Amino acid sequence: MRARVFVTLKPSVFDPQGTTVAEALHTLGYASVKDVRQGKYFELEINASTPDEARRVAAEAADKLLANPVIESYRIEVDAPAHAEMAR
Amino acid sequence: MTITNELIAQHGLTLDEYQRIVDTLGREPTLTELGIFSVMWSEHCSYKSSRVHLKTLPTSGTRVLQGPGENAGAVDIGDGLAAIFKIESHNHPSFIEPYQGAATGVGGIIRDIFTMGARPIALLNSLRFGSLEDPLVRRTMAGVVAGIAGYGNSIGIPTVGGEIGFDESYTGNPLVNVFCLGTSKASEIVKAVASGAGNPVYYVGAKTGRDGIHGATMASAEFDEKSAEKRPAVQVGDPFMEKLLLEACLEVMRTDALVGIQDMGAAGLTSSSSEMGSRGGAGVEIDVSLVPQRESGMTPYEIMLSESQERMLLVAKRGREGEVERIFEKWDLHAVRIGEVTTDGRLRVKHRGEVVADIPNKALTDEAPRYRRPTAEPSYLKEAQQLDLASLGKPLAVREVFRRLLAAPETASKRWVYRQYDHMVRTNTLVLPGMGAGVVRIKGTRRALALSVDCNGRFVYLDPFVGAQHAVAEAARNVACAGAQPIGATNCLNFGNPEKPDVMWQFVRAVEGMGAACRALDVPITGGNVSLYNETDGRAVLPTPVIGVVGLIDDADRIARRTFQTADDAVVLLGESRAELGGSEYLKVIHGIVRGVPPAIDLAREAALQRFLVDGIAAGLIRSAHDCAEGGFAVALAECCFDTGLGVSAELSRLETIEGFADIAALFSESASRVIVSVAPGAVEDVLSRAAALNVPAVRIERSRAVL
Amino acid sequence: MKFAIVVFPGSNCDHDAHYAAEHVLGQQAELIWHKDTSLKGADVVVLPGGFAHGDYLRTGAIARFSPIMQEVRRFADGGGPVLGICNGFQVLLEAGMLPGAMLRNASLHFHCEHVYVNVEQTDTPFTIACTPGRALRIPVAHGEGNYYAEPDVLARLEKNRQVVFRYVDASGQRTAAANPNGSLNNIAGLCNERRNVVGLMPHPERACELSVGSADGLVLFESAVKAVSEGAFAISR
């Protein structure tokens, strides 16, 4: 089962990389892009029997290691096999 | 599987070379064998266009412990220690992917040093880019600098100096030459040999993937519009993995369980196994299915040609396997036994027990093709050497010229660059970047080593024989200005397509000039690198033979820096100034031309100058020393004052030249063998008489000093 | 007395710290591998600079889980002096032994240069021999030294006098230009509430001899020796 963890900087934290990316987009002509925040994306392949178990494991991984709670927050998506079939 | 002419061409081989392969094997090669030959016989690995000429270089000397032929050269620096060093290029990958191209270039040269048993202690780099007006060039430069910084800083080796040059000819062909220096006990230098029948062959480091396949052949080809498609060939570096490898390998080398070790660089597993076997006069048999792989379904061809980074091949003593494996485990590395040494002198590659390649080692290494390619004086040369100053019109006011030269990228401060390099890690750096030669101390001794990399490509373009002499002289002079006796050199020869007679002519003449200068200055070449095919759409780079010189300082308390030390010191100009504007920064920046002949160079005079500097600094008589290079005397004098709060008013003698250009020539002429030194007032007499004794022209030039 | 210098895979400045303690200061110093579970009777623990685990994921994020860190935490809980330099500071932050976090330098570039830091507190084991208010000239070399803490945490740090080092210019003024990385309040280093754990981004071990540019950093190591010999920060074993 695959869990996707999206880690982003908390809104109050200054993001110079995101700002630089936004400026670069503006130079390329994308004036409509108002702001960019840069984050990290992890894909975890987990041996879990239910989506909830996978989500729990991913959340623990995020709490312990993947995200730094002082400056980052995260959200999780789980691709359960049943959902994958529906997507097909 | 039929081997077609197209397949042969795709592998960068000529039909003649293919026939040689068939003759050597006594049959048609397998696809894996074709791949192996294609990389080992590529220009980058075989040096087929350059070998016959490189053989003319002076490579021996009383201090030389290891000359060309190993992974790096070594010279004796006293106290039972050796300095191990080399310079290498990673030009083509740095155009395709600047950050990773430069980063993996740094990784590669570092491995070449620690594979010899030396702990790397300093890095330098010599870079060339097109014009900074071009946004693509700016992006390339930013990427290259970031890549060098990213890798070097992470692995913890200080980048203590270097040089950066700009010219339109480098636009599609940036040059990224990286120099690395390490030290070890002279008796503990490790060689890259495979020997001892039955000794196990180990693979350690990163897993093998499909990166860099045909990287060696890419380095041996020009770019054209299709180059963008070659993108997947660039390797990605992992400095953390290399740090682990470095520490683990040095630890293994301290036991005596190792027979030989080599890093997997260009042509990866192929070059390391065949070269180690060749040097040891032995054979190597490996089974590639035992090689740790990062991707699935890799073929033997791919495994043999992969240029995945941060991998080492080593031969251990039979019976000592456990010791070796344990040390690597400590560093969370897996040393995997993939084969053994044999006595038949062949490289035998198996895949799941089945032989897929079986080639005599020597055919891949010592017996690789060697060409003496045709040379012809280039058609541009005679015309370009004509310089008619009068035709340039009335020169600008010298103040304006001076301002423009100081602002030109070539001479401007490179602080934006070296601030990104950790130049202090290991706490050995005695002279920081931007101050001439880099100087690092050798802990546990009173000594220090001074390092410099130099080349004026314009001079080489206008006269390769003389220009190459300038490169050697300048690098040696830079270390002498720090107070170091030059003791060894390495070279990175960056040229265009050697199949063109005019490029080959430049190469041969440059090697001849380099040899002459190295002999005259007693600086042997201990190894180096050749990078050919630096051309895009038929336009070659300025011929750029970069020379790296290592100098030895006996007493680290007696070194000289570039800048003036106090407001009281006298200023003496050493050397002879002439109206020599050929190939100068003045002509390039103010008039946009590269014309004339390079300044004359008298190697005997240069040797005397360097002798004078080394002795004078060791005696404590010379307080600062800075040579005149791009931009001539005026730029050098200004650089002596930067960041000191000191000013100087100096007087120069008039030079013989055409009407109107007297001041320009006096200030911006780039005559060779000139150094500005500062001396305590009480020592001036002594200094002038010592100079006279060595026939070094010397004249006190300061009229007044100021503190700003 | 003995310095223990922890070596993580990827640490680079361990040898420099060892050299400063043993060769320059003449004290006993030992390198402790991150997988060890004993600090071998050390009186002072140093987490050195470098790129532990390549700085992958986040600086110090993986090193904080090394087996030795349990011992380091126990040592600190008992009042023992702990100094985190650069990457070592980052490890202490990730381990929660110091408050806040590090972001990438505002310029997005790695900076290696000498800076001036003001010593604002002289009641820590690493500043006890410092002259109050005297700026030290010490090098920085980092790409992620931009210190961040939430507003209430930051306020508490200042109120508690936990900011030990602050970036200033040559004349001792706290200015934006003197700040090499954009860190909040020009914070270069701080201590925990108990004042025995200190972290700083500049490298004092690179400023222990004039020959390499500055000897202003030596006083941090001298302070540690003084603190241990005077028993001011003795560990309760």
Q: Report d(CA A60, CA A62) in Å as an integer.
A: 5
- For A16, the closest of C57, C65, C104 (CB atoms) is C104
C20: amino acid identity, one letter: A
Interface residue of B427, B439, B447 to substitute, partner C, most C CBs within 10 Å? B427
What pLDDT digit, counting tens, does each position of B363-416 carry? 999 999 999 999 999 999 999 999 999 999 999 999 999 999 999 999 999 999
Contact B34, B491 (CB under 8 A): no
**Do the chains contact at A16 and C148, CB–CB below 8 Å?**
no
**CA distance to partner chain C, nearest, from residue B246 (Å):** 10
- For A17, the closest of C99, C108, C182 (CB atoms) is C108
List CB contacts of B670: < 8 A, sequence separation 6 or more: B580, B581, B583, B584, B585, B599, B628, B629, B630, B631, B632
What pLDDT digit, counting tens, does each position of B136-160 carry? 999 999 999 999 999 999 999 999 9
**CA distance to partner chain A, nearest, from residue C28 (Å):** 35
Alpha-helical runs (H) found in B419-524: 457-462, 464-481, 501-520
What pLDDT digit, counting tens, does each position of B420-467 carry? 999 999 999 999 998 899 999 999 999 999 999 999 999 999 999 999
**Do the chains contact at C54 and B238, CB–CB below 8 Å?**
yes
**Do the chains contact at A68 and C61, CB–CB below 8 Å?**
yes
User: Token pair of B653, please?
Assistant: 């003698």
Query: Side by side, which strands form the sheet with C163-168?
Result: C28-33, C2-7, C44-47, C82-85, C197-200, C187-191, C163-168, C111-119, C135-142
Q: Say which residue the tokens 């190792």 belong to.
A: B258
The mean pLDDT of C5-31, rounded to a whole number, is 97
Chain A residue numbers with beta carbons less than 8 Å from the beta carbon of C108 are 16-17, 20
B590: amino acid identity, one letter: I
- Kindly state the percentage of chain B with pLDDT values over 90: 88
The mean pLDDT of B610-623, rounded to a whole number, is 97
**CA distance to partner chain C, nearest, from residue A10 (Å):** 10
**CA distance to partner chain C, nearest, from residue B248 (Å):** 11
Angle at A8 between CA A7 and CA A10, to 5 degrees: 135
**CA distance to partner chain B, nearest, from residue C18 (Å):** 11
Q: Is A24 on the interface with C (CB under 8 A)?
A: no
Closest CA to B612 of B691, B531, B528: B691
State the angle between helix axes of B603-618 and B464-481 in degrees (0 to 180), rounded to the nearest 10: 10
Closest-CA residue of chain C to B444? C23
Closest-CA residue of chain C to A10? C150
**Per-residue pLDDT at B708 exceeds 90:** no
Contact B235, B307 (CB under 8 A): yes
| Element holding B603 (H helix, E strand) | helix B603-618
Q: Is C24 on the interface with A (CB under 8 A)?
A: no
Residues of B labelled as active-site residues: 44, 90
**CA distance to partner chain C, nearest, from residue B678 (Å):** 20
**Do the chains contact at C212 and B424, CB–CB below 8 Å?**
yes
Chain C residue numbers with beta carbons less than 8 Å from the beta carbon of A20 are 108
User: Token pair of C31, please?
Assistant: 């390198």
**Per-residue pLDDT at B135 exceeds 60:** yes
**Do the chains contact at B154 and C206, CB–CB below 8 Å?**
no
**Do the chains contact at C110 and B420, CB–CB below 8 Å?**
yes
Q: Which residues of C44-66 are buried (b: 16+ CB within 10 A; e: fewer)?
A: bbbbbbbbbbbbebbbbbbbbeb
Which residues, in sequence order, are bridge partners of residue C148? C101
Q: Is C104 on the interface with A (CB under 8 A)?
A: yes
- For B424, the closest of C53, C56, C206 (CB atoms) is C206
What pLDDT digit, counting tens, does each position of B204-252 carry? 999 998 877 765 555 666 666 555 444 455 678 899 999 999 999 999 9
Closest-CA residue of chain A to C59? A68
**Do the chains contact at C94 and A68, CB–CB below 8 Å?**
yes
- For A71, the closest of C103, C105, C106 (CB atoms) is C103
Mean pLDDT by 10 residues, chain A (88 residues): 94 83 86 92 95 96 93 92 49
User: Token pair of C148, please?
Assistant: 């961040």
User: Token pair of B395, please?
Assistant: 């020169």
Judged on CB neighbours under 10 Å (0-12, 13-18, 19+), B70 is: buried
The mean pLDDT of C50-73, rounded to a whole number, is 94
Which residues, in sequence order, are bridge partners of residue C31? C5
Least confident of B486-490, B643-647, C147-151: B643-647
Closest-CA residue of chain A to C100? A70
**Do the chains contact at B425 and C13, CB–CB below 8 Å?**
yes
Concatenating the DSSP letter of every residue in B610-640 gives HHHHHHHHHTT-EEEEEE--TTHHHHHHHHH
**CA distance to partner chain A, nearest, from residue C12 (Å):** 23
- Partners for A (CB, 8 Å, 3+ pairs)? C
**Per-residue pLDDT at B198 exceeds 50:** yes
List CB contacts of B673: < 8 A, sequence separation 6 or more: B473, B477, B574, B575, B576, B601, B602, B605, B606, B609
Q: Report d(CA B313, CA B258) in Å as an integer.
A: 11
Q: Report d(CA B216, CA B40) in Å as an integer.
A: 8
* Residue B364 region by backbone torsions, left for phi larger than 0, else alpha for psi between -120 and 50, else beta: alpha
Q: Report d(CA B525, CA B516) in Å as an integer.
A: 12
Q: What is the pLDDT of residue A86?
A: 44
User: Token pair of A5, please?
Assistant: 């963890």
Contact B173, B533 (CB under 8 A): no
Residues of C labelled as active-site residues: 86, 203, 205
User: Token pair of B178, please?
Assistant: 């990286």
User: Count of CB atoms within 10 A of residue B365's CB?
Assistant: 20
Q: What is the pLDDT of residue C200?
A: 98
Q: Report d(CA B261, CA B686) in Å as an integer.
A: 52
- Partners for C (CB, 8 Å, 3+ pairs)? A, B
A20: amino acid identity, one letter: T
List CB contacts of C165: < 8 A, sequence separation 6 or more: C117, C118, C119, C120, C187, C188, C189, C190, C200, C202
The mean pLDDT of B83-93, rounded to a whole number, is 96
User: Token pair of C125, please?
Assistant: 């084991």
User: Count of CB atoms within 10 A of residue B302's CB?
Assistant: 18
Q: Is A50 on the interface with C (CB under 8 A)?
A: no
User: C113 vs A63, B420, B424, CA distance in Å?
Assistant: 36, 9, 9
Interface of B with C (CB under 8 A): 146, 149-150, 153-156, 238-241, 243-244, 330-332, 418-430, 432, 441, 443, 556-557
Closest-CA residue of chain A to C57? A66
Chain C residue numbers with beta carbons less than 8 Å from the beta carbon of B427 are 16, 19-20, 205-206, 208-209, 212
Contact B105, B90 (CB under 8 A): yes
- Partners for B (CB, 8 Å, 3+ pairs)? C
How big is the B-C interface in CB pairs under 8 Å? 88
The mean pLDDT of B343-349, rounded to a whole number, is 95
User: B462 vs B544, B567, B667, C123, CA distance in Å?
Assistant: 12, 40, 22, 66
ipTM of the complex: 0.95
The mean pLDDT of C152-174, rounded to a whole number, is 97
State the angle between helix axes of B501-520 and B464-481 in degrees (0 to 180), rounded to the nearest 10: 40
List CB contacts of B527: < 8 A, sequence separation 6 or more: B66, B67, B68, B69, B70, B72, B73, B86, B490
Q: What is the pLDDT of residue B230?
A: 43
Give chain C as a 3 state SS string: CEEEEEECCCECCHHHHHHHHHHHCCCEEEEEECCCCCCCCCCEEEECCECHHHHCCCCCCCHHHCCHHHHHHHHHHCCCCEEEECHHHHHHHHCCCCCCEEECCCCCCCEEEEEEEEECCCCCCCCCCCCCCCEEEEEEEECCCEEECCHHHHHHHHHCCCEEEEEECCCCCCCCCCCCCCCHHHEEEEECCCCCEEEECCCHHHCCEHHHCECCCHHHHHHHHHHHHCCCCCCCC
Chain B residue numbers with beta carbons less than 8 Å from the beta carbon of C51 are 153-156, 239-240, 243
